Structure 1
Amino acid sequence: MTITLRQLEIFEKVAVNQHVTKASEQLYLSQSAVSMAIADMERITGAPLFERRGRRLILNDRGREILPEVQEVLRRVSGIEQFLSESVGEPVGVLKVGASTTIGNYLLPKIVGEFSARHPKAKVLLYVANTQLIEEAVERGEYDLGLIEGPSHNPSLKASPWIEDELVVISGKKHPFADAGNVTVDMLAGADWIIREKGSGTREIFEAAMAAHGIEYNVSMELGHTEAIKKAVEAGMGVGCLSRMAVQRELNNWWLMEIGTPLDLRRTLYIVTRENSYQTRLFRAYTDLLESISG
């Protein structure tokens, strides 16, 4: 037999009131039920916890030692109950969101900030990695949901279209592509490409677009971070292909040049979740905000 939460509640009330009758009145229990709970608890622990002085029960040294611990347990349980009650009515708690690199760096910070302003009792933790890693983490239950670039390849996950995006081919101002403005399939095949790593949604869309035109291309540099690619392209080390949202600032300031191509680089960004998982109030509030942006 183990000590129950109810026995701890009874122990605490008797310890504070030093009387079975008062404790029973506060707990809405009979005096015999209270006395039996204390007796069971003392039997489980192997020795008395109270000294009997007439009708009063006073904690002995063992009882005094555990009383603060018991009160802490009850406080924590009360906090859990309060949280669970509040989370049904309003967003409360911590939501873990995984996002692939472009979404996590260029879209979600503003969205997370807006959500936090709307729901101050809730907290969103954002994790950024490539699409493949995000899907794997959502499947394992490490993240509550994921936002990925391109289609999902995990059949155990539910993928819902979110918003549309497009990739653009970019070069530095002094690259030959910049003077050409529009390039041919042969020019794309002959370029030195600086691209994202395997497992990236951006890499997948780029490869599919090139394959659709039968273009075999040379990868001169493979980098795992969008900012590193932009800097390398700006320095004239090759050409790249990134999301428009990631390079719009550089295009506006003429630090990078957008190159016209015959490639179809449009894509859909997706929300991925586990099938049939319970959707808390916090989860629904966050996905509602995401869907309002897509509309």
Structure 2
Amino acid sequence: MTITLRQLEIFEKVAVCGQVTQASIQLLLTQSAVSMALAELERLAGAPLFERSGRRLFLNDRGRQLLPEAREVLSRVRRMEQFLEDSIGTPVGSLIVGASTTIGNYLLPAMVGEFSRLYPGAKPLLRVGNALQIEQGVESGELDLGLIEGLQHLPSLMAIPWRRDELVLIVGKGHPWASLGRATPDMLRDAAWIMREKGSGTREIFETAMERGGVNYAVALELGHTEAVKKAVEAGLGVGCLSRMAVQRELDQGWLFEVANPVDLQRTLLIVTRKNDYRSTLMQAFLALLEGDQEL
């Protein structure tokens, strides 16, 4: 049995895309080449790895067992390629950077653009998710490094303090708190809270701060994206708590109003990497850019 790296790469891409057509586009191959590689891999495996429903392909039990092994092999090969590319001493190649939602949407895009300008041969790829998803991606090797806005969950990772950030309470202009400008602990307890989902760094910092302040509260609406929270608060559905950098534009425009409160909502943004992992020239250059932007 001789399985090639190309077959594993095609297998992994089809598993993610769920169809040959999309996988072939992303791999810059013909559909027939992708189909032939899958057929040969399944022949070598002695049985199918996918269940087929029309044009859709779903991993079966054997395929699900193979996928993490294939990803590990591909990850190791990419690290070897990166190491060889680094021998020329200039940051080149792809760096997959994960960022939790607030960082990924409001802070990192400009920095990724600046990095690409400084190093034309480098290609930083940005992946956005909640804080827990980013940590898991770094641990599994799907991400080269991550930036999160919550508390560290996985002790297997190294966490480096990066920047300070502040969460603010926000209400819409028609909310009674908008004219008051501040809220008491009793008001916080009785509020209809509109929050990010569990696993969000913003949600976790809010929960920790409220618990530390001895304030009970009830979540009226849970939404999976910062923009959705802002729109719901702006529509008068309740009170939100988000990063200042995510709501500064709306505060400046008078679409949302900041409410002073007795709870400490300061937090530290973190860079997370794998412990004892090889730091390529490319990663070192990106970390240097991040460290130059520190505001601790």
TM-score, normalising length: structure 1? 0.71
Displacement after TM superposition at 1:209 (Å)? 1.2
Mapped partners of 1:270, 1:185: distance in 2: 29
Number of the residue aligned with 2:265: 265
- Cα deviation, 1:161-188, whole Å, max 9, x if unaligned, reads 0000010000000101101111100001
Q: Specify whether residues 82 and 147 from structure 1 end up closer, same or farther in structure 2 by C-alpha distance, changes over 3 A only.
A: closer
Whichever residue aligns with residue 115 of structure 2, its letter is: F
Displacement after TM superposition at 1:83 (Å)? 8.5
Mapped partners of 1:160, 1:153: distance in 2: 13
Please list every run of at least 4 consecutive aligned residues from structure 1 whose deviation after the TM superposition is greater than 3 angstroms.
Answer: 80-83, 85-88
- Cα deviation, 1:210-261, whole Å, max 9, x if unaligned, reads 1122211121100110000000000000010000000000001110000000
CA contact (8 A) 1:97 1:126 kept: yes
Displacement after TM superposition at 1:87 (Å)? 5.0
Q: Specify whether residues 90 and 187 from structure 1 end up closer, same or farther in structure 2 by C-alpha distance, changes over 3 A only.
A: same
Mapped partners of 2:250, 2:273: distance in 1: 33
Whichever residue aligns with residue 131 of structure 1, its letter is: A
Displacement after TM superposition at 1:139 (Å)? 0.2
Mapped partners of 1:215, 1:82: distance in 2: 50
Whichever residue aligns with residue 258 of structure 1, its letter is: E
Number of the residue aligned with 2:278: 278
Mapped partners of 2:237, 2:178: distance in 1: 13
CA contact (8 A) 2:151 2:204 kept: no
Whichever residue aligns with residue 144 of structure 2, its letter is: D
Matched pairs, number: 217
> Alpha carbon RMSD of aligned pairs, Å?
1.7
- Cα deviation, 1:44-89, whole Å, max 9, x if unaligned, reads xxxxxxxxxxxxxxxxxxxxxxxxxxxxxxxxxxxx9898255541
Whichever residue aligns with residue 248 of structure 2, its letter is: Q
Mapped partners of 1:108, 1:220: distance in 2: 30
Mapped partners of 2:135, 2:113: distance in 1: 24
Number of the residue aligned with 2:137: 137
Q: Specify whether residues 278 and 178 from structure 1 end up closer, same or farther in structure 2 by C-alpha distance, changes over 3 A only.
A: same
Mapped partners of 1:82, 1:194: distance in 2: 44
Whichever residue aligns with residue 273 of structure 1, its letter is: T
Higher Cα Rg, which structure: 1
Matched, 1:109 2:109: yes
Number of the residue aligned with 2:236: 236
Q: Specify whether residues 197 and 85 from structure 1 end up closer, same or farther in structure 2 by C-alpha distance, changes over 3 A only.
A: closer
Number of the residue aligned with 2:198: 198
Mapped partners of 2:148, 2:217: distance in 1: 25
CA contact (8 A) 1:88 1:281 kept: no
Number of the residue aligned with 2:158: 158
Q: Specify whether residues 88 and 158 from structure 1 end up closer, same or farther in structure 2 by C-alpha distance, changes over 3 A only.
A: farther
Task: Report SS of the residue matched to 2:290.
Answer: helix
Mapped partners of 2:86, 2:132: distance in 1: 35
Task: Report SS of the residue matched to 2:292.
Answer: helix
- Cα deviation, 1:255-287, whole Å, max 9, x if unaligned, reads 000000001000000000000000000000000
CA contact (8 A) 2:159 2:272 kept: yes
Identity rate of aligned residues, in percent? 64
Mapped partners of 2:151, 2:219: distance in 1: 23
Moved more, 184-193 or 208-217: 208-217
Number of the residue aligned with 1:25: none
